[in-house]
Amino acid sequence: MKKNGTYSRGTSLMRDALRRFVRNRLSVTGCIVLLFIITLCLAAPLLTPYTYDYQNLSSGATPPGAQHLLGTDILGRDLFTRILYGGRVSFAVGLCATLVSVLIGVAWGAIAGWYGGKTDTIMMRFVDIAYAFPFTIFVIILMVFFERSLLLLFIAIGAVEWLTMARIVRGQVMALRHQEFVDAAIGLGLRQHQILLRHILPNIIGPVIVYATLTIPAIMLLEAFLSYLGLGVQPPSSSWGILIREGTESMETYPWLLIFPAVVLSLTLFSLNFIGDGLRDALDPRSSRE
């Protein structure tokens, strides 16, 4: 209570979190860099006269210059263009696969945590076993043995990355399950799915967002890794993983072919990780000590 009978307006949790996030210089820088890269990728057709598969063998392997901002590869394809179009693929894979993993993970974790008992034991047992499964191997097997399509790539990667999400959500739901406002909602006669949707989900959104932001770079990394092995996106399409693979093949003679894609990928991963860290500190005040 404050003097003069006025009450100070309580800062809402979200506004508080936003203020903490904005104060974190690293994550704000991350946001700016990421937005810049995404904008460039989206605006690719406006920024470059070439297409990603336009070949001009007579100007193959040109170093960076006025004609080709970041140079060209051996087939004379413009590297700048290929990085931008490749970025679209990399971001698309990152976002879609994250979405898949969030959906599976949240549903799995919420059901296990909510029903508890035998359901929980069986479902979490499955997660435990899956954890012991060498999953990168699983993705490699999938990609080798089945048709290499982008869709399959989304599913394969999404199926790998949901385990931790399920564990986090389950823990949160378990903790919420036994709190009084949930008992109150049950007492009021709300249906279970109503309670889950209206009372539980809003409360677990914070950790889910944080973990999802940290999943995106992990998935983009996995995509790049698969493309690097030749199992991901197929040429002539480009993705950052493919560009890096092509770059390493000729890094002694044409180092820019490795360095530029590598820098862009690393910058993106840095930004996403800093944003994720910033969000975690902002949404979980306990973890941000001063």
Partner 1 sequence: MVRFILKRIFFETIPSLIVIATITFFLIRLAPGGPFSTEKSISPEVLTQLNAFYGLDKHLFTQYLTYMARIITFDFGPSFKYPGRTVTELIAESFPVSLELGVYALCIAIVSGILAGLIAASKPSSLRDYLTMSISMGGICIPTFVMGPLLVLLFSLILGWFPVSGWNTFSNRILPSITLGMVYIAYIARLTRGGLLDTMVQDYIRTARAKGLPERLILIRHALRGALLPVLSFLGPAAAGLITGSFVVETIFSIPGLGRFFVAAAFNRDYTMIMGTVVFYAFIMISFNTIVDVLTALVNPRLRSSLR
Shortest Cβ distance from residue 94 to partner 1 (Å)?
14
Give CA–CA dist 61/204, Å, rounded. Answer: 51
Please pick, from the candidates 224, 233, 275, 282, the single residue that binds partner 1 as defined by CB under 8 A.
224
Shortest Cβ distance from residue 45 to partner 1 (Å)?
28
Instruction: Give the angle 108-114-118 at the CA atoms, nearest 5°.
Output: 80
Residue in the structure block whose two tokens are 């770059």: 247
- Decide whether 72 or 273 has the Cβ nearer to partner 1: 273
Shortest Cβ distance from residue 114 to partner 1 (Å)?
25
Please pick, from the candidates 44, 244, 282, 283, the single residue that binds partner 1 as defined by CB under 8 A.
244
Q: Are 245 and 251 in contact (CB under 8 A)?
A: no
Q: Does 252 bind partner 1 (CB under 8 A)?
A: yes
Give Cβ neighbours of residue 114 (< 8 Å, ≥ 6 apart): 173, 177, 192, 196, 200
Q: Are 192 and 179 in contact (CB under 8 A)?
A: no
What is the x/- site pattern for partner 1, positions 189-218, by CB under 8 A? ----------------------------x-
Of 23-42, binders to partner 1 (CB under 8 A) are 26
Residue 88's nearest CA partner among 242, 226, 225 is 242
Residue 265's nearest CA partner among 224, 210, 216 is 224
Please pick, from the candidates 101, 274, 282, 283, the single residue that binds partner 1 as defined by CB under 8 A.
274
Q: Are 230 and 143 in contact (CB under 8 A)?
A: no
Stretch that binds partner 1, among 45-53, 59-67, 90-98, 126-134 (CB under 8 A): 126-134
Of 129-158, binders to partner 1 (CB under 8 A) are 129, 132-138, 140-142, 144-146
Q: Does 54 bind partner 1 (CB under 8 A)?
A: no
Q: Does 275 bind partner 1 (CB under 8 A)?
A: no
List contacts with partner 1 (CB under 8 A): 26, 128-129, 132-138, 140-142, 144-146, 217, 221, 224-225, 228-229, 244-245, 247-248, 251-252, 255, 258, 262, 265-266, 269-270, 273-274, 287, 289-290
